[in-house]
Amino acid sequence: MGALASLGRAALRHPRAGMVLAGVLAIPLLRLIALALQDGLGPNPAEALIRQTGDWTLRCLCLTLAVTPLRLSLGWPELARHRRTLGLATFAYACVHALAYAWLDMGLEVDDIARDVLKRPFIWVGVLTWGILMLLAATSWQGAMRRLGRRWQQLHRAVYAAAGLALLHFFWMRSGKRDYAEVVVYTVVLAALLGWRVWRKLRAANAPRPSSG
């Protein structure tokens, strides 16, 4: 196990590890595009594309939130350098998800999109989630970190709000078909990831402080 751990950490430190990760994360999207070009997305390709890009947005978001628990639990600080790639992949899938809805489902008709967003709560929750992810992606670079200073970390805690809103969006979307199986899975995963953070904060707050004497 020690040798495997060393190999894993060495792979994460490799200069091209980020490029490899980005390539792996792009595979589902490239597969969807290939299926769309071959009419392989079923009788309703627009719905299939919207649904699957939404699923991958949630999966990438879960992976992004898993970085810190895994990094601290495994003692692999190298994982932290790939959190930005995962976060940007989350935003990229969210953008394709939104574009598929606006283009394939609504024909890029701005008035129709605006009416639909206002009429259906799960869509405006999705738009709000996308807005938060856009803000986080726009401030994920080193320059933004330097300019914002300590406020950067406070701003990026909004990822927790994005996770909750994304789950609510997913729940409302699936409730129309009474299909809750995947909703339960994502709820458990996100609850575990966020619960770990709460547990760690509580443990740190209750830890005995060293005596000053």
Task: Provide the residue range defining the domain that includes 33.
Answer: 2-206
Cα angle, residue 160 at apex, residues 155 and 161 outer, rounded to 5° = 85
- pLDDT at residue 168, rounded to an integer: 94
Answer yes or no: is 93 within a domain. Answer: yes
Helix or strand or coil: residue 92?
helix
Answer yes or no: is 213 within a domain. Answer: no
- pLDDT at residue 26, rounded to an integer: 96
Answer yes or no: is 211 within a domain. Answer: no
Answer yes or no: is 201 within a domain. Answer: yes
* pLDDT tens digits, 122-178: 899 999 999 999 999 999 988 888 888 888 888 899 999 999 999 999 998 888 777
Give the number of domains in the chain.
1
Inter-axis angle of helices 17-37 and 45-74, to 10 degrees?
160
- pLDDT at residue 105, rounded to an integer: 87
Answer yes or no: is 26 within a domain. Answer: yes
Residues of the chain with pLDDT under 70: 1, 207, 209-213
Contact between 49 and 36 (Cβ < 8 Å): yes
Contact between 79 and 71 (Cβ < 8 Å): yes
Integer-rounded Cα Rg, in Å, for the chain is 20
Answer yes or no: is 79 within a domain. Answer: yes
